[in-house]
Chain A
Amino acid sequence: MNVAVILQQVPDTEAAVKPNPAVPGAILEEGVKFILNPYDEFAVEEALKIAEKDGGEVTGVCIGPDRSENAIRMAMAMGMERAILITEPAAVEADLVTQGGILAAALKTLSPKLVLSGREMIDSQNDAAAAVVAHKLGIPHVLAASKIEINGDKAVVVRDIEGGSLEIETALPAAISCQKGLNEPRYPTLIAIKRAKNKEIKKMTLAELGIAAAPSKSRVTALRQPQARAAGVKITGTPEEVTGKCLAWLSGTAKVI
């Protein structure tokens, strides 16, 4: 079964990100390490496992600036064969629904039976891609899968919800976003990392994908640091002492009790 994965490059989780004063909505990239979106690793791993079972190909699609190539190479080192990268600013800066349409157009050229993505992009904290892409492709979707079982033309997927989970049966093709717990992503070998350098990344333009430029439906006008939490109290003492002070604070300041 051919499986396509939606990929995204994001700043490392440990990176100290600061707004770029010159470019609204952008961060200062100097000194920031970029990685493959951690949730995408679950998607790549699952795609490889499914493809390995009955001999299919794993491909990828990505919208992002040129540096995104490094994230794609990481997925390729894990075993992905080829990818499409769309670097045009009009695509990178597009709103979520427009981006979903662009990804769908790129995915169409790969005709996968299953589309996977990470549960969430950890930079923008957006988690809609799989659902929007599914709508654009006219196929069903399931978000935040913690288990995927392929069964012929169907898949049984378990997704987490508050206070439990749902077991969902979906027809294939479908788009599914992948949650932590789905699998243990493999570490690429040195040889695989070397081989990945020669795999094909095809850059495509919006014109080639048949997407007409449209004004963005949303725009980040500013990124800013959240207001620092007001300095708190730090206390020490016997359990009885600190408990007494804590209760006084809970009823007096926090008014929780």
Chain B
Amino acid sequence: MPGVLVWIETSEGKIRKVTREAAGAGAKLAAALNAPLCAVLFNGKDLLPELATLGFAKVYTAEGPGFEKYSGEAYAEALAAAGGMFGADVFLTGATALGRDLSACLAAKLDAALAIDVTEIIYDAKPLKVVRPVYSGKLLADVELTGEKKVISLRPNVFPVAEKPSVSPEVVPLSALETAAIRAEVRKAIKAAEGVLDVTEATIVVSGGRGTGGASGFKVIEDLAGTLGGAVGASRVAVDEGWIEYAHQVGQTGKVVSPVLYIACGISGSTQHFAGMGTSKFIIAVNTDPDAPIMEKADFAIVGDLFKIVPVLKEELLKVVR
């Protein structure tokens, strides 16, 4: 019997949004396969009530010191064990930093087909078919997963979150699990500055590029992002110039974001930048150059000086948002 297994990824004790999205996609897939949808949760028993709204038949829990910190080897072991218990053949994770790591470990372990950063699943295709961006998002690849087992990581903010009536899943402890010695061990988690929202997590991203002119120019970008409850992004130029940290870079050599709204300020919009934000639902561009590539790709392009426009936009938004 087939089945679908989702990894519950948590961050600071909370279930990540991409996990809810994976649960939503998993439910559709499970329905198409007429198979159960289950999940694996590591060291997070207090999250069980919240999981009841995500539509899982069973939640396998792995507790203990071996699972306190992320380990690709140990986590893959647990997922493989849980999958074996009910015959899972499709494994879903978010295409987050650790989700990508885990999916690779798991695919290698299960000798499975691996599809990374998937943006669409053709649920009823036989064999299962997925779509993923390739060549910096310049092309899409239709990928047929013919392997008996399939491991799929989903691009965050692309799939709708699970909406299920509250049904408490059966909780199955993975008690007999023997964790192998962890050879690559997390010693320390280093947090970015307090209160800074990561670009990949945000539903709104406000980005600055060459047009910000320097580190001080990012102030207006940060103000607008703050007003909207969004994250601050940046183009490669801004990062290479040292105006803002690399963690903010969006694009081919930075992070891939897929927010509901992406506001590009003073960014020309190279192919490489587009690779990192091309799947945003809505794009607003503010640029003095009406012919910049971003102006053709934006849903709403404003020709003008970002230093004059963005502060006014922020003030007006403050009135609406509050």
Q: Is the CB of A142 within 8 A of B184?
A: yes
Which of A141, A158, A171, A233 sits near B301, CB closer than 8 Å? A233
B100 near A128: Cβ-Cβ < 8 Å: yes
Cβ–Cβ contact A122 & B184, under 8 A: no
Q: B246 at interface (Cβ–Cβ under 8 A)?
A: yes
Contact of B142 among A123, A144, A224 (CB under 8 A): A224
Known: A144-B97, A166-B189. A218 touches B139 (CB 8 A): no
A150 within 8 A of B: no
Q: Let me know if A96 is at the binding interface, CB within 8 A.
A: yes
Of A140, A229, A253, which one neighbours B297 at CB under 8 angstroms? A229
Which residue in chain B gives the minimum CB-CB distance to A38? Answer: B253
C-alpha spacing A143/B80, complex, angstroms = 21
Residue A152 at the B interface, CB < 8 A?
Answer: no
- Would you call A17 an interface residue if the criterion is a C-beta within 8 Å of the partner chain's C-beta atoms? yes
Question: Are B299 and A233 closer than 8 Å at their CB atoms?
Answer: yes
Quick one: which of B115, B284, B302 has the most chain A CB within 10 A?
B302
- What A residues does B143 contact at CB under 8 A? 218-221
- A81 at interface by CB-CB < 8 Å: no
Given A142-B184, A180-B253, A257-B321: A136 and B108 interface contact (C-beta under 8 Å) = yes
Interface residue count on the A side (C-beta < 8 Å): 84
Would you call A217 and B112 a contact (CB within 8 A)?
yes
- 6 smallest A-B Cβ distances: which pairs? A217-B147, A128-B104, A135-B108, A131-B104, A140-B184, A140-B183
Could you tell me how many residues of chain B have their Cβ less than 8 Å away from some Cβ of chain A? 88
* B187 contacts chain A at the CB level, 8 A cutoff: yes
Query: Whole-angstrom distance from the CB of A61 to the nearest CB of chain B?
Result: 17
Known pairs A97-B114, A219-B144, A221-B142; A232 contacts B300 (CB<8 A): yes
Find the A residue at minimum CB distance from B139: A223
Cβ of A159 and Cβ of B109 under 8 Å apart?
Answer: no
Bitwise interface map of A from 12 to 45 toward B, beta carbon under 8 Å scored 1, else 0: 0110110100000101000000000011000000
Is B214 among interface residues, defined by CB-CB distance under 8 A?
no
* Complex Cα–Cα for A230 and B296 (A): 10
Contacts A25-B141, A235-B303, A236-B303 given; does A96 touch B114 at CB 8 Å: yes
Within 8 A of A (CB), among B84-136: 96-98, 100-101, 103-105, 107-109, 111-117, 129, 132-136
Min distance, Cβ A45 to any Cβ of chain B, angstroms:
15
B239 CB to closest chain A CB (Å) equals 9
B271 on the interface (CB 8 Å rule)? yes
**A132 at the A/B interface (Cβ < 8 Å)?**
yes
Min CB distance A35 to B, Å, is 13
**Cβ–Cβ < 8 Å partners of A27 in chain B:** 135, 139
Q: What's the least CB distance linking A143 to chain B, in Å? A: 5
Residues of the A chain whose Cβ atoms lie less than 8 Å from the Cβ of B144: 218-221
A254 to B261, CA, bound (A): 8
Interface pair A169/B271, CB less than 8 Å apart: no
Q: Is the CB of A222 within 8 A of B112?
A: no
Interface residues of A in 208-229 (CB under 8 A from B): 215-226, 229
Kindly state whether residue B313 has any CB partner on chain A within 8 Å: yes
Choose one: B96, B114, B186; the contact of A218 (CB below 8 Å).
B114
Beta-carbon contact of B134 and A163 below 8 Å: no
Query: A138-154, CB under 8 A of B: which get 1 and which 0?
Result: 01111110100000000
Q: Are B112 and A163 in contact (CB under 8 A)?
A: no
Pick the contact of B303: A141, A217, A224, A234 (CB < 8 A): A234
